[in-house]
Structure 1
Amino acid sequence: MYERYRFSWPDLECPNIVTRDLTILRKGKKKISVKLTGVKLRELIPYCLYEVPESAHEQAGAIPELRPGRILSRNLKISEEMYGGSVEEEMEQCFISYDGVYKARRGLSHIERRYVSTEIPDLRRWSATLDSLTRSSWGLEKSNQEARQALVSMSAHAAIEHGRVIDSHKVSARERTVQAGTLEDSHGRFNSGRIPLICFAGEKKLRKRTQIVRGIGRKMSFREVVLEQMIDALRNICTGVCRSQEYRLRSGWFAQSPDRTPRQVRQEADRLIQEARRLRQMVTRPFARSFNRCAVDLEAAAALLQEAANNRRSEPISQAKEKIGQVYRAMKELECHWRLEEVLFEVSILRESKQFVSALQQRIWHRTLQSVYRQLTGMEPLTGKHLEHGFKRPVLQRVVPHIQLADKSLMQDLPDLTGVYKELKIACDPI
C-alpha cells in the first residue's frame, strides 16, 4: 500500500509538505469526526504524525483542530472502532489533534520512562550552566576580579557536580566545563574570547548525549522522540535569538559613537529582517505566538535603523533599542515557559505511573518554580524593566498565581501531584 521511504528528522525551516485525505476527531465527549480530502500538512513522520501549516484546507477556518501549529497524530485503534475493523484507506484513518507540540508530547507519553525525570533534565541544567558561562564571559576582560572569580567558581561547581560521569560524551562535556573556567590560554595569556567556543563544544556533546538517551528505552514512542527533537530545535532557535539580542544590548552598539557609519546601521537592519523572516516561518504552537510578536518587533527595529541611516539621526536608534529589549524579554518569558512545561511533563510521568516523589526531586521542582516566579515578577536586570513591559497582550497576571498554587501543592508533607499538574497546566496555557 505504501511506498518505501527513508526517514529524516523534520526540518522546521524547510518542511516537507504533503497532501492527503484523513478523518479528524473533533473535540468533545462524543466521538464526532470530519472526513476531509486534499489536506496540506507538514510531514513529521510519514503517514502518522503531522503539523498543520498555514492554509491547510479550505475548511480549516471552521475547524479548530486544523489551526496552524497543531499536531495531528494517527490513532488506528479509534479508526477501527469507528469503522468496525481494519482500516486501509487514507480517508478512514482517524487523527487526533493536539494544541501544540507540548500537549502532543504529554498526550503521547503513556510509556513509562524513568530516565526522562532524571538524566535529560540534568543534561538540560548542565547545558544551561554552559550557556551561563558563555554569557558571563562577555566583557570579562573589562571586569573586576570578583566577576572573574564568579565564572571560575561556576565552572568548578558544575565540574564537581558531574564528576562521576562515564559516558564519553558527558566526559568530553565535563572537560569543556573545566576548561571554560580557565581564563588563560595555553600560552598563559588572559583570553576570555575562547570561552564561548569551548562552551558551544560542550553543549554540542550534551545534545548528542540527549539524543542517545532518548533512543535507549525500547518502549519509548518514536513519535514522542520526533516531538522532543522538534522542541529542542525550537529551543535552539529561541536561544539563538535571545543571545543575539543580548549581545546587541551588552555590546554598546546602540550607544552614540562617531565610528558607527550609515552602512553599518543598514547592515544591522538587514540582519534584523533576516531574523524576523526566520521566526515567521515557524508555526508550531505555542512558540508561534511569541515568534510572531518578536518578528513584528524586529521588523519595527529594522525600519527605525533604516530611518536613522537615511536621515543620519540617532533618535531612531534609541527607539530600536527599546524594540530589541522587548524581543529579548519575550525570549526570556518563553524560557520560563519551557521550564514550566518541563516540570509539568516530569510531574505528569510520575503522576500517571504513581511513582514516589523523592525529597531531592521535590527540592529540584521547588527551586525551579521559585526561580521562574522570581523571574516573572521581578525586574529584568539587563533592560531594567518588567518582563512584559511594552507588551500589547500581557498574560503574567493569569500565570503567576497558579505557579504559587502549584508550589504550595508540591511542598506539602505528602506532595499533591494532581494539584501540581492541574495548576501548572493552567499556568502554561496563556504564555
Structure 2
Amino acid sequence: MNRSEPEPSGSPFEDVTLIRAGAIAGFDASATIVSTIPEAFPEAHRRAANARPAAILVSAGRVAIAGEPNVICGFAGDRPPRVIDLPDRLVMPGFINVHAHLELTSIGPQPYGGDFVGWVAMLREHWPGEGEAFAKSPDPEWFAAAAALGAEQSRAAGVQAIGDITRFDAVAEARRAGGLDGVSFIELFGMGTPWDAEALARLGEPADGFQPHAPYSAGPALFDAACASGRPVSCHLAETHDERRFIAEGDGPFLDLLQSLGKWSPDFASRYGDGLSPVRWMEPYLRRAPWLLAHCNYVSDDDIALLAETGASVAYCPIASEYFGHDNHRYREMLDAGVNVCLGTDSIVCQPANEPQPLGILPQMRRLYQRDQTDPALLLRMATAHGRQALQLDGKLTCLATAPFDPDDETDALTQVLQRQDPVQALALNEFSS
C-alpha cells in the first residue's frame, strides 16, 4: 500500500469520533493536536488548514486531525463508533480569550461617561447591598455566580480557554466548573508596606497564575514576587495617559488617588518619576518571566522592540479599548516586530448592549476586520494559536466553534463566501457557537 494513503480498516487512533462538516477553517493555526500522529498520515495533511467539505477526527475527546474527507475518513476506520454529521456548519478551532473579568458578568454592558473613577464607582453601585460595605467585605460567592454566567456565555460563543482576572478562588472554581480551560490570574494590589502584605501572602498560596494589577496599583515587591512564583503572570500595562505620566513623572491623578487613600510611601517613590515609559519600567520583570500584558495602548517603537526581545505577549481588547477612548493601537506594528499579540474581551461591562456574544472573541475579530481590514487568517491565529502561547496552554483542542449556513441556498451569505473564497473569509459574516 502507498504510505501516503490512509489505512482502509482499523483506525490508528483511540476512542474515535468522526465529524463530517460542511467546511473547516483555521486548523493550520492550531498546533495539532495529538502527541503522536500515525506514520502513515500524509505529510501534506499533518497541519490541516481549510476545506469544503471537510472532516475532523476526534480522539479521546481531543481533535486529532482535520482536512478533506477522503483523507480524514480513512483514518476513522471502517465503522467509527461515533459519527457526527454537520453538513450545514463551518467548523473552527475553539477561541482563546486571553483577558477577561468573568466576575463582572452579572453587571452587564454599561455606558462609559469618560471618567474612569466614576466608572469604578458605577461598578460598585451594582454590587449587592451597600456598595462600600460590600467593597470592604465582598462575598466571593456573588462573584462566583457572575463568573459561572460568564463561563456559560463564553462556551456558547465557542471559547475554549480564557485568561480570567479575579481576586477569589471561588471564581476560579466557577470557571473550571463551567468547562473553560485557561488560567485564573489572582489579582494583587498593594503599593508598599503594609498595604502589600496581604497580596504577598497570597503569592504563597496555590493558584493558576498571578496578576499584580498595574504599576500604579501594585508596587515593585509584588512584581518581584510574581516573577519568583514560577506561575503564569499578567498585568495591565500602558493602558492610559495617566499611567504613563505617573510612571514617567511621578505625579498626576494616580499619585493624587494614592495619597488620598493614604497608600503612597516615600520609601518606594524612587521607582517612579525617572522618565521611563510603563514598558521600560517593567523591563526588569519582563526579563525574568513570560508576561501577558493587557492592553499596551500607548507604546513607542523602543517599547515594541523591548516587548519583542523579552518574549512578552500582548492582550489586545479592541472593543474595550474603543469604549474607553483609546485609538490607534499599534498591534500591527507589534506583530511585525515579532510580538505575540492575542485577543481578549476585557469585561462584559465594556461590550455593546446589543452584542449577542459579548464574551466571544469573534466580535473582536470582526471589529478589526471591519475597521482595519486585517487579514482574517491573521485574526484567526491571534484568536487561537497566539492565545494558547500567551496562556501557556498545551495546544490540544477540546472545543470547536461552528457557524451555520445553508449549502443549498445560494442567497445564504456564508454559502456565497464559501463558494468563492477561502473559508476563513467567513469570519466577517457570522456568529459562532460551541
Common fold by TM > 0.5:
no
Larger RCO (alpha carbons 8 Å, 6+ apart): 2
Q: Structure 2 length as normaliser, TM-score?
A: 0.33
